[in-house]
Amino acid sequence: MNTAVRHPESESASESGMYPIATSRHPIAFEPTITTAGPQMPQGEDFLRRMKSEQARLETFARWPNRAAISGEALAKAGFFYTLSADRVQCAFCENVLRNWEAGDNALQEHGRHFPRCRFVLGLDVGNVPIPRVAVVETRQPITPVRDSPEVSN
């Protein structure tokens, strides 16, 4: 089970008792109680626009903690990018955050469970650019029997 942190513009964020982690001006701002030593993600609309690409989201997981219970590939495919803080990931589309990943978590299912109104989760056109998946197609070539070389006569 993981913990959700709603975007302040999400419906019922105050009703749920969850505190905001992002604002429209600073989409990757952390909770006030957390200090962030070390690298931080770029912020702003340009950054979020780039995060519509699954490949760009995947690249944010280069420093994903080895102890994390879920792969960066699964998280990027589910619309998330890594915030460079613990195991917090943020959706590039609804801007909500999930953290505290556990073994066996399914990124897309958790995304939908915590943020069922996310347009990405609902399958709406949000401008997502998925990584092209290479289809493996098995082709059967006819087997040509190997023939002995003709004997050379003198």
What is the reported pTM? 0.66
Segment 136-153, tens digit of pLDDT: 666 676 666 667 656 655
Among 4-8, 76-80, 135-139, 147-151, name the most confident range. 76-80
Whether 128 maps to a domain, the answer reads no
Q: Kindly report each contact of residues 85-90 with a partner whose C-beta sits within 8 Å and lies 24 or more positions away, as own/partner.
A: 85/30, 85/34, 85/36, 88/5, 88/21, 88/30, 90/21, 90/22, 90/27, 90/28
DSSP string, 43-67: -SHHHHHHTTBHHHHHHGGGG--TT
| Total domains in the fold of the chain | 1
The CATH number of whichever domain residue 93 belongs to comes to 1.10.1170.10
Whether 15 maps to a domain, the answer reads yes
On the 0-12 / 13-18 / 19+ scale of CB atoms within 10 A, 132 is: exposed
Whether 65 maps to a domain, the answer reads yes
DSSP reduced 3-state for 3 = strand
Segment 14-47, tens digit of pLDDT: 333 333 344 333 333 333 233 344 455 566 889 9
